[in-house]
Structure 1
Amino acid sequence: MRRILYETLAALGQNADFPRVQTLGVGIGKLIWNVVPSRRKLAVAAISERLGLDAPQATALARSSFQHNGRSFLEIFLSRKVDWRFVRDRLLVDDPAHMQRTFNLLRDRACVITSAHMGGWEMLAGLLHLLAPQQHCQVVVKATHDRDLYALIKRLRGHSTVHIVEHEQAVQKVLRNLRKPGTSAFLVDHNCRREEAVFLPFLGRMAAVNVGPALLALRGKALVMPVFLLREDPDRYRLIYQEPLDAGQLPGDRHEKIHTLASFYTKAVERVVLQYPEQWFWMHRRWKTRPGEELAG
């Protein structure tokens, strides 16, 4: 029964046009805000603590964040429809010539793209095959506990030239892809287990940052490029990216290189969160995993 429900929702979503998905997404965000008070309180508290806002300001920003996140969730129905018409009509780039030169670097080099649960992250997955058309592209994701739901999400995210790889099975698949050379994309802003993490400052508090993308980039001698797709207005998105860091040219020992790479993509996430705080996924327990010395104290 659950699988039938998921498939029915998927059929309805895939037939919806852009305005309809956006409207439904805002509605989903409002619904979650009203029926999941634990996540609402978590988001308001995190915004107040990390951004220094008073209760009314934090509440208003958190409510906006839920609506943005609702849109992001449902944009999975649009990600496979991203094409050059989308680029022409809905994508804003500050310097198109510079962007073209930057992404031309991917023609002959392995690349690890890092992003976050910001703005149109599902749309960014659909845009990947246009940004790096000559490359073998992967998106590394964490599987949900609900396997029927995960199977549906994986199918909706998949693209003929963008392959979905589960986080738990990623190491060898990503290394093979980088050595082609190819492009592998990760979301790097969520909490992770202590054994996967290096602890770095993020929005004024130490946070567990997944070192997997840094380690794989180092082993694959890849470029590391933070890329984000932010909503600029109801109908358009702005592509923000950073000049890539070459993992194959870093000084220091292995530990120092991993720390440099993880700091690089964590600071990139922090910058866009501070610039577009209403578009980040504040309902997540980002600072759940704590450093060992903090626990001991």
Structure 2
Amino acid sequence: MPIFNLKKISSLSYRFLQYYEYILAKGCLSLLRSLSPEKASNIGGVICRLIGMKLPVSKVADKNLQLAMPYLTFIERKKIIAGAWENLGRTVAEFPHLARLKQNTSEGAGWEVVGGEYLTEQSAKTGAVLFVSGHIGNWEMLPLGVAKYGMPFSSFFRAASNPYVNQLILNLRDEAMGQKIPMFAKGSKGARQALKHLLQGHRLGVLSDQKMNDGVEVQFFGRPAMTSSAVASLALKLQCPIIPGYVQRLGPARLRIIVEPPIDYSQYAENNLDNIHRLTQVINDKIERWVKQNPEQWLWLHRRWSKELYR
């Protein structure tokens, strides 16, 4: 008989590594918090830009830009990719500061809202509401900003493989919101929980700009793209408002939340597959317009279109 249980030792080692990773992540967050929001943002942007531009995934971003905006030169694409990496680094580094950012400050770190009247109007009503956005600017600011208008919403998230780190991230989100908000892991179980949440009259936010293989095929930048139909399906099922909006980066830890009027889908309100496609296309068109306005602020780093296009 073996003296040591190798399986148990392996499990303990893995848990130790996970905990070590958690301590490292917590230390990094503490370091970022010790800095001003602007300085943390600048450092995160520089580091992510320098490292990211050397990673193979930057080639994916370049291919995406060739597919989406074939008129761009190589230099123009490279500038956008560098900006996307910088925006990602800033977004991560600003995360522990979100709860402390001030609204409507005249300069420096802070945030403002354009279109807040749509949130004020909706907050006076009851019932389910869907918010739709994309990975633009500092997208983590959107739930916090909307909550300040009395409209806190839940959202989907991709759980970190390390459960300690995952809980750390969730705790930071709750801290920023000033309250504990249900979050739903991506997948069938999370989808069922989200539907139940909406049926109870609550609110849900969805980032609809990434490839979803089990979604529907609609156009994005003039090319077929598999896209999540969650917002369209849920809205048509529940006949609830869809409020689109995104975050524009104005500078280091300085953000503008842009809220647009609720989407009018009355002309195809019947809940069927054709209308799900039509409404999903409307959402994609909005996201495409937002990306075109500030392409360096979108997350170009994933394979958005058919894998055949990347060969």
Where does residue 4 of structure 1 map in the other structure? Answer: 23
- Structure 1 SS opposite 2:137: coil
Local SS of the residue matching 1:145: coil
2:49 and 2:148 map into 1 onto residues whose CA distance is 32
CA distance in 2, matches of 1:255, 1:128: 31
Determine if contact 2:133/2:244 at 8 Å carries over to the other structure: yes
Amino acid at match of 1:140: F
Distance 1:129 1:184 in 2: 12
Structure 1 segments unaligned to the other structure (5+ residues): none
Q: What corresponds to 1:119 in structure 2?
A: 137
For residues 79-98 of structure 1, the aligned pairs below 5 Å read 79-82=98-101, 85-89=102-106, 90-94=110-114
- State percent identity of aligned pairs: 23
Give the corresponding residue for 1:183: 203
1:179: how far off? 3.3
Q: Distance in 2 between matches of 1:216 and 1:274?
A: 27
- More deviation in 225-234 or 278-287? 225-234
What is the aligned partner in structure 2 of residue 156 from structure 1?
Answer: 172
Report the counterpart of residue 77 of structure 1 in structure 2.
96
Which residue of structure 2 aligns with residue 172 of structure 1?
Answer: 192
Matched, 1:266 2:284: yes
Q: Give 5+ residue unaligned stretches, structure 2.
A: 1-19
Question: Partner of 1:144: helix, strand, or coil?
Answer: coil
Q: Assess, with a 3 A threshold, how the Cα gap between structure 1 residues 247 and 171 changes in structure 2: closer, same or farther.
A: farther
Output the amino acid matched with 1:236.
R
For each residue in 1:57-83, what CA deviation from the matched residue of structure 2 results, as whole angstroms up to 9, or x when unmatched? Answer: 11122112211121122222123334x
User: Displacement, 1:233?
Assistant: 3.6
Residues 33, 96 of structure 2: 8 Å contact kept = yes
Task: Report the secondary structure of 1:78's partner residue.
Answer: helix
| TM-score where L is the length of structure 2 | 0.81
Alpha-carbon spacing, 1:59–1:11, altered in 2? closer, same or farther (3 Å): same
The one-letter code matched in structure 2 to 1:91 is: W
**1:172 and 1:180, CA in 2 relative to 1: closer, same or farther beyond 3 A?**
same
From 234, 245, 251, the equivalent of 2:263 is 245
Return the alpha-carbon distance in structure 1 between the equivalents of residues 98 and 254 of structure 2: 14
Whether contact under 8 Å (2:37, 2:252) holds in the other structure is no
**Bigger Cα displacement from structure 2, 259-268 vs 273-282:** 259-268
The aligned counterpart of 1:107 is: 124
SS of structure 2 residue aligned to 1:86: coil
SS of corresponding position for 1:281: coil
The answer to whether the 8 A contact 1:207-1:286 is kept is: yes
Conserved in 1, the CA contact under 8 Å of 2:119 and 2:146? Answer: no
1:54 corresponding residue in structure 2:
73
In 1, Cα distance between equivalents of 2:223 and 2:257: 27
Aligned counterparts of 1:16 and 1:79: Cα–Cα separation in 2 = 13
Task: Please say if residues 129 and 162 of structure 1, whose CA atoms lie closer than 8 Å, have aligned partners that are also in contact.
Answer: no
Q: Secondary structure, in 3 states, of the residue corresponding to 1:222? A: coil
Aligned positions of 1:161-240 closer than 5 A: 162-168=181-187, 169-193=189-213, 195=214, 197-234=215-252, 236-240=254-258
Aligned to 1:30: 49
What's the TM-score once normalised by structure 1's chain length? 0.84
SS in 2 for 1:286: coil
Q: Is the 8 A contact 1:136 1:181 kept in 2?
A: no
Of residues 207-216 and 160-169 in structure 1, the stretch that sits farther from structure 2 once superposed is 160-169
Q: Contact 1:116/1:189 (CA < 8 Å) preserved in 2?
A: yes
SS of match in other structure, 2:86: helix
SS in 1 for 2:136: coil
RMSD: 2.5
- In 2, Cα distance between the equivalents of 1:4 and 1:190? 31
Q: Is the 2:146–2:152 contact (alpha carbons within 8 Å) kept by the matching residues of 1?
A: no
Q: How many residues align?
A: 281
Deviates more, 1:269-278 or 1:152-161: 152-161
- In structure 2, C-alpha distance between the alignment counterparts of 1:214 and 1:142, rounded to whole Å: 21
